């Protein structure tokens, strides 16, 4: 018995010795290894979803902001049975195959649905399903819906800019990613949410005015319905600074529901990406050049009989047989014959020089992605018909923005301005990071600009091609464009597909806005004065009221016209 007790005693001592030795190893020799293992199980790093910077219009109205949303994930190892997944599937689509494969590979985290609606998130939380968790992420939200969508653009699920300003200024809007430390128990339940500073990107202030943008989009919608057009675009610009006040395209899309877009053509910013032959709006180049080079005067007479002209074996006609016209009347009535004869006086070299001066064939440099440069053939590629086609806006391809920019030069006294959309970028604490600077280059004299302004006002007066663009109380200076579309199938110009346009500025004697309207393939009519002129008038009329621009007749009577921007009530005061 004593022997047994001794053996048991020694075994106990030995066992305690082994335990003490093992504890010694754990505490002093293998301490770091076990500490790392414990930290791996209980201390987790979670990535913080940084807030993207906001986008504001020129007076501080929110156009794009970031909101917090719950993103749903599951831990496959903690899901008990198919019934749990079926219950979850009542609210979100569950990928059973992915979850099964993740469970087999011991994967502990699987996304189910990111950035849930608040109502769906609340209902799933109420179920209190074990193994189901939520991560707070930011979602981009556009408070005005589809307003200015082609300028703002959108982001992907990870808040990376894909289109528009969101893409062009992504590095400024997107904050640097960071992480936080959280504590979990053995079952993976979160014990602490950690401490961290909110990460936020820089805020952007744009030149757009939400009120003007709304006006432009409203009348584009009406035009699409009335003319059953395939597409339409409009751009409004400050002719002196290059600030884009409004820019819109139709068809359009809502960046809040980007996953519902079936036709990606709706996303394209046609105002700066799509090329077209400008037609008669391009005649401004020839008109400017002959005045600047002092080749003809305003009252110089041009014989436009017999109503057509042959160039390189191609007959080019006028709408009517005008006979003899003054230079001013050639522009007012948009005579093709007169314009071509004037261009011949100028010569191809000078014509090409002024085309390049106006910025055609190169990008304007606007701060939006996807801008097209247009197409202007070098002189050595001009054909025998080019001197008949190019002066009247054929054999060249331009964007609406390039044409508007050219007319801004007439409006502002001869300067080619660089268009821009972002005026300022500020850090989250309000410090100025970037401020836009007006960039302009003189391309012709103020005298030439003044003469052209007066001539272009005749276009909207009796005898002109765009009396429908006239705005009561203010003179409009502008030009119509009616361009046949080239049909590659028949390798000639289509007889029933046109691009109708009007471009101009108002008030003509003191321009506040420059505006171009493009309607692609209208049905029922195709002349620019008939289709695009009335849209220009409607937009300009409401825009002038919105901007509190006095009418010419009101100024003459000593009356100032103002408008309350909230309720649009017009108030007259002396």
233 is catalytic: no
| Whole-Å CA distances, 509 to 358, 388, 450, 535 | 22, 33, 9, 21
Secondary structure in 3-state letters for 532-562: HHHHHHHHHHHHHHHCCCCCHHHHHCCCEEE
Q: Is the peptide bond before 507 cis (omega within 30 degrees of 0)?
A: yes
Cα–Cα dist 523/388, whole Å: 28
Q: Which token pair is 126?
A: 């109420």
Rounded to the nearest 5°, which phi and psi values hold at 256? -75, -20
Cα–Cα dist 62/68, whole Å: 17
Q: Which segments within 464-491 are labelled E, that is strand?
A: 477-487
Contacts of 473 (CB under 8 A, 6+ apart): 551, 552, 553, 554
**Residue positions counted in the chain:** 574
From the candidates 280, 364, 500, 501, which is the catalytic residue? 280
Q: Which segments within 3-142 are labelled E, that is strand?
A: 43-48, 55-56, 62-74, 110-113, 132-141
Please state, as a whole number, how many other Cβ atoms lie within 10 Å of the Cβ of residue 534: 19
* CA 355 to chain CA centroid, nearest Å: 27
* Strand (E) or helix (H) holding 422: strand 422-426
Contacts of 52 (CB under 8 A, 6+ apart): 64, 66, 138, 140, 155, 159, 173, 174, 175, 200, 201
C-alpha neighbours within 13 Å on the C-beta side of residue 312? 11
Question: Which residue is listed with tokens 């030439």?
Answer: 448
Cα–Cα dist 54/141, whole Å: 10
Secondary structure in 3-state letters for 502-535: EEEEECCCCCCEEEEEEEECCCCCCCHHHHHHHH
Question: Which residue is listed with tokens 């041009």?
Answer: 302
Q: State the catalytic residues.
A: 280
């Amino acid at each position: 018995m004593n022997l047994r007790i001794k053996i048991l005693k020694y075994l106990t001592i030995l066992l305690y010795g082994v335990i003490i030795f093992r504890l010694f190893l754990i505490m002093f020799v293998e301490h770091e290894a076990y500490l790392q293992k414990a930290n791996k199980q209980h201390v987790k790093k979670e990535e913080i979803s940084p807030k993207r910077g906001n986008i504001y219009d020129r007076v501080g109205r929110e156009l794009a902001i970031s909101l917090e949303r719950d993103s749903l994930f599951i831990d496959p190892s903690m899901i008990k049975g198919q019934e749990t997944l079926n219950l979850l599937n009542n609210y979100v689509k569950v990928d059973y195959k992915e979850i099964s494969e993740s469970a087999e590979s011991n994967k502990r985290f699987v996304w189910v649905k990111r950035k849930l609606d608040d109502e769906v998130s609340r209902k799933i939380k109420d179920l209190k399903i074990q193994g189901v968790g939520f991560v707070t992420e930011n979602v981009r939200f556009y408070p005005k819906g589809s307003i200015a969508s082609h300028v703002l653009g959108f982001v992907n699920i990870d808040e990376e800019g894909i289109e528009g300003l969101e893409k062009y200024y992504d590095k400024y809007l997107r904050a640097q990613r960071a992480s936080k430390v959280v504590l979990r128990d053995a079952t993976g339940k979160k014990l602490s949410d950690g401490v961290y500073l909110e990460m936020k990107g820089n805020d952007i202030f744009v030149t757009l005015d939400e009120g003007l943008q709304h006006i432009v989009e409203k009348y584009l919608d009406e035009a699409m319905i009335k003319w059953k057009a395939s597409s339409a675009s409009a751009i409004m610009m400050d002719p002196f600074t290059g600030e884009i006040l409004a820019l819109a395209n139709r068809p359009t899309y809502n960046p809040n529901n980007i996953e519902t877009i079936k036709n990606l053509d709706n996303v394209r910013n046609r105002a700066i990406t799509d090329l077209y032959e400008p037609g008669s709006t391009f005649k401004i180049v020839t008109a400017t050049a002959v005045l600047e080079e002092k080749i003809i005067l305003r009252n110089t007479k041009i014989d436009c009989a017999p109503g057509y002209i042959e160039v390189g074996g191609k007959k080019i006609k006028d709408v009517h047989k005008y006979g003899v016209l003054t230079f001013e009347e050639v522009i007012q009535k948009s005579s093709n014959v007169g314009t071509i004869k004037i261009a011949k006086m100028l010569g191809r070299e000078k014509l090409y020089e002024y085309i390049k001066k106006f910025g055609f064939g190169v990008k304007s440099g606007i701060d939006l992605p996807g801008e097209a440069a247009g197409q202007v053939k070098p002189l050595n590629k001009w054909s025998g018909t080019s001197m008949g086609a190019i002066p009247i806006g054929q054999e060249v391809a331009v964007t609406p923005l390039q044409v508007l920019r050219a007319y801004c030069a007439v409006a502002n006294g001869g300067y080619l301005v660089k268009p821009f959309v972002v005026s300022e970028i500020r850090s989250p604490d309000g410090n100025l990071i970037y401020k836009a600077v007006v960039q302009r280059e003189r391309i012709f004299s103020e005298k030439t600009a003044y003469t052209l302004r007066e001539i272009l006002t005749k276009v909207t007066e009796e005898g002109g091609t765009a009396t429908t663009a006239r705005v009561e109380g203010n003179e409009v200076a502008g030009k119509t464009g009616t361009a046949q579309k080239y049909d590659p199938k028949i390798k000639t110009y289509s007889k029933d597909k046109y691009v109708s346009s009007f471009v101009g500025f108002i008030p003509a004697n003191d321009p506040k806005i420059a505006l171009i309207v493009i309607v692609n393939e209208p049905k029922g009519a195709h002349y620019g004065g008939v289709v695009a002129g009335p849209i220009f008038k409607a937009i300009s009329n409401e825009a002038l009221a919105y901007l509190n621009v006095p009418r010419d007749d009101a100024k003459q009577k000593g009356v100032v016209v103002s408008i309350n921007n909230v309720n649009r009530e017009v108030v007259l005061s002396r």
